[in-house]
Amino acid sequence: MLAVITYKNKKFNIDLSKPLDISIPMRGDALNVNAWYLEHPKISPHTEVEFVGKVTQGASTNFNDIWFNPHAHGTHTECVGHITEAFQSVNRNLNRFFFLAELVTIAPEKYQDDFVISRKQLQYALGDRKREAVVIRTLPNLNDKLTKQYSNTNPPYLLKQTAELLVDKDVEHLLIDLPSVDKEKDGGALLAHRAFWNTEGEIRKKATITEFIYVPNSIKDGTYILNLQMAPFENDASPSRPVLYEILEE
Q: How far is CA 61 from the centre of its chain?
A: 33
| Domain ranges, ordered by start, for the chain | 2-23+74-248
Q: What's the pLDDT tens digit per position in 162-193? A: 999 999 999 999 999 999 999 999 999 999 99
Q: What's the pLDDT tens digit per position in 28-44? A: 999 999 999 999 999 99
CATH class of the structural domain 2-23+74-248: alpha beta
**Amino acid residing at 7:** Y
Average pLDDT taken over every residue of the chain: 97
Q: What's the pLDDT tens digit per position in 61-113? A: 999 999 999 999 999 999 999 999 999 999 999 999 999 999 999 999 999 99
pLDDT of residue 118: 98
Report percent pLDDT > 70 for the chain.
Answer: 100
Q: How far is CA 171 from the centre of its chain?
A: 14
In the chain, the N- to C-terminal Cα span, in Å, equals 15
Q: pLDDT confidence of 7, banded at 50, 70, 90? A: confident
Question: Has residue 147 got a pLDDT over 80?
Answer: yes
Tell me what the mean pLDDT of segment 110-134 comes to. 97
pLDDT of residue 250: 62
Report percent pLDDT > 90 for the chain.
Answer: 96
Cα angle at 151 between 146 and 154, to 5 degrees? 100
Instruction: Confirm if 38 and 69 have CB atoms less than 8 A apart.
Output: yes
Question: Has residue 243 got a pLDDT over 70?
Answer: yes
Query: Closest Cα partner for 79 from 235, 219, 242?
Result: 235
Q: pLDDT confidence of 1, banded at 50, 70, 90? A: confident
